[in-house]
């Protein structure tokens, strides 16, 4: 059995999967850190091990609770992060230090120091390709000799012969952070120095904080993640979708009556941009084309922002569409147009806010005989 949980942390991202013997986390952060700390500490125990922590990118609201996750669990064995160029590391660490977030500066610049010597750090190379190279080797995390830098589109499994895989793809955008840097430059900050010289920028704290709150993005890339069965494996089924609040009390696959139960894979998007289009398809569809018919859940990127969404991804199938959003966020998320587009494509928008009863859980079980589910 697999439990996929979209945790209620408001304007941020914290998603986890509990497999039979493994725990996976994708992002762990929120703009509302003080309230969300309790959500993290209630999600795992001191006996739990996180087998893989995937970090989509290094915006504050996606990483601000990782320190709490680290102290909550017994250990984090593997961390998969986007590969950063040196100037990106310097820029991000300078910004976090200026904001008084020295731990996050260390996470960006020296992740091994942040997590400890026993944690393996795996970096995913950026790519502007529009498909996964079928010749890319798979890696198995129970093999201690696996390399620590991998191509986008590499298949990751906990162990050999696993029928569940993870495929990160660090799609390379060109202008994601330009707006943020342009604003800083207009306010008198030397961008060339900020990107290349490790230094103390605390005198600019107010400017940097105000600019970050207005723009929200300091990263160029956001790493996508496919989590689901290996190709052509349809022996997994949704058995329950659970939402405790309002009229979604408890149900056996209702009211999501149009969802095909065997499309159990999830596409995690972080703050990725779905607006990169090539012809009739978005680039993200092309990247995961071989696996697209296994995907039934798409985490809507960037808290439901209109500028990160494209309805083309919904055109051929019905999807469950969770997104994390703060009820009183300053950005107007989620976009009413995004919600309307999801509904008009017969898919299901799922609000996950800071309210505890907005948690959303998917239960996936494995079929072992023609009509028998494992219970």
Listed range (83-97, 241-255, 355-369) with the worst mean pLDDT: 241-255
Mean pLDDT of 62-74: 97
> 371 falls in which pLDDT band (50, 70, 90)?
very low
**The predicted structure's pLDDT at residue 249:** 38
In the predicted model, is pLDDT for residue 226 greater than 70?
Answer: yes
**Residue 261, exposed/middle/buried by CB under 10 A (0-12, 13-18, 19+)?**
middle
**Residue 276, exposed/middle/buried by CB under 10 A (0-12, 13-18, 19+)?**
middle
Mean pLDDT of 149-157: 94
Phi, psi of 15 (to 5 degrees): -130, 140
Dist CA 176 CA 2 (whole Å): 34
**The predicted structure's pLDDT at residue 129:** 84
Mean pLDDT of 339-365: 93
Q: Do you know the residue count of the chain?
A: 375
**The predicted structure's pLDDT at residue 325:** 92
Q: Are 119 and 75 in contact (CB under 8 A)?
A: yes
Q: Are 242 and 320 in contact (CB under 8 A)?
A: no
Q: Token digits for 296?
A: 């039934």
Mean pLDDT of 43-48: 96
In the block, which residue shows the tokens 């010749």? 135
**The predicted structure's pLDDT at residue 222:** 86
**The predicted structure's pLDDT at residue 319:** 94
Nearest to 101, CA basis, from 64, 69, 66? 64
CA distances (Å), 222 to each of 55, 62, 274, in order?
Answer: 9, 10, 11
Dist CA 35 CA 192 (whole Å): 37
Which superfamily does 2-176+217-368 belong to?
Ribonuclease Z/Hydroxyacylglutathione hydrolase-like (3.60.15.10)
**The predicted structure's pLDDT at residue 340:** 94
Dist CA 365 CA 239 (whole Å): 7
Listed range (135-139, 176-180, 303-307) with the worst mean pLDDT: 176-180
**The predicted structure's pLDDT at residue 258:** 60
User: Mind listing the pLDDT tens digit for each residue in 169-225?
Assistant: 998 776 556 778 888 888 888 888 888 888 888 888 888 888 877 776 676 678 999
Residue 156, C-beta contacts closer than 8 angstroms, at least 6 positions apart: 52, 80, 138, 139, 141, 150, 165, 166, 167, 168
- For the question of whether the overall pTM of this predicted structure is more than 0.85, the answer is yes
Dist CA 71 CA 62 (whole Å): 17
Task: Classify the C-alpha dihedral 129-131-137-142 as positive or negative.
Answer: positive
34/167: higher pLDDT: 167
Mean pLDDT of the chain: 87
**The predicted structure's pLDDT at residue 134:** 74
User: Mind listing the pLDDT tens digit for each residue in 238-264?
Assistant: 777 887 765 443 444 455 556 667 899
Dist CA 226 CA 294 (whole Å): 10
In the predicted model, is pLDDT for residue 333 greater than 90?
Answer: no
215/307: higher pLDDT: 307
Residue 161, C-beta contacts closer than 8 angstroms, at least 6 positions apart: none
Residue 190, C-beta contacts closer than 8 angstroms, at least 6 positions apart: none
User: Mind listing the pLDDT tens digit for each residue in 32-45?
Assistant: 898 999 999 999 99
Cα 178 off chain centre by: 22
Give the number of other Cβ atoms within 10 Å of residue 348's Cβ: 18
Dist CA 297 CA 374 (whole Å): 22
Cα atoms in the Cβ-side hemisphere of radius 13 Å centred on 370 = 0
């Amino acid at each position: 059995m697999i439990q996929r949980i979209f945790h209620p942390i408001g304007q941020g991202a914290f998603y986890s999967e509990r497999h039979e013997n493994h725990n996976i986390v994708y992002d762990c952060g929120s703009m509302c850190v003080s309230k969300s700390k309790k959500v993290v500490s209630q999600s795992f125990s001191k006996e739990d091990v996180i087998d893989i922590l995937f970090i989509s990118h290094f915006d504050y609201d996606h990483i601000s609770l990782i320190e709490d996750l680290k102290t909550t669990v017994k250990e984090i064995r593997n961390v998969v992060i986007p590969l950063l160029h040196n100037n990106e590391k310097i820029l991000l660490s300078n910004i976090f230090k200026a904001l008084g977030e020295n731990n996050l500066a260390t996470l960006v610049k020296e992740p091994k120091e942040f997590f400890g010597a026993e944690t393996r750090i795996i970096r995913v190379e950026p790519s502007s390709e529009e498909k996964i190279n079928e010749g890319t080797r798979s890696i198995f995390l129970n093999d201690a000799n696996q390399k620590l830098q991998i191509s986008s589109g590499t298949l990751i499994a906990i162990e050999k012969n696993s029928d569940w895989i993870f495929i990160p793809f660090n799609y390379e955008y060109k202008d994601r952070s330009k707006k943020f840097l342009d604003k800083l430059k207009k306010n008198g900050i030397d961008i060339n120095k900020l990107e290349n010289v490790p230094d103390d920028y605390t005198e600019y704290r107010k400017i940097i904080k105000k600019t970050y709150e207005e723009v929200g993005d300091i990263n160029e890339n956001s790493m996508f993640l496919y989590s689901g069965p290996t190709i052509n494996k349809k022996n997994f089924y949704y058995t329950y979708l659970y939402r405790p609040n309002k009229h979604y009390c408890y149900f056996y696959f209702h009211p999501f009556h149009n969802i095909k139960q065997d499309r159990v894979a999830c596409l995690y998007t972080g703050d990725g941009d779905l607006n990169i289009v090539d012809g009739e398809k978005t680039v993200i569809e092309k990247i995961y084309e071989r696996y697209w018919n296994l995907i039934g859940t798409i985490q809507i990127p960037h808290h439901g922002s209109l500028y990160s969404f494209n309805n083309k991804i919904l055109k051929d199938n019905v999807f469950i569409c969770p997104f994390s959003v703060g009820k009183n966020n300053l950005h107007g998320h989620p976009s009413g147009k995004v919600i309307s587009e999801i509904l008009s494509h017969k898919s299901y928008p799922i609000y996950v806010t800071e309210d505890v009863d907005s948690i959303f859980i998917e239960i996936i079980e494995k079929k072992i005989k023609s009509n028998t589910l494992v219970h």
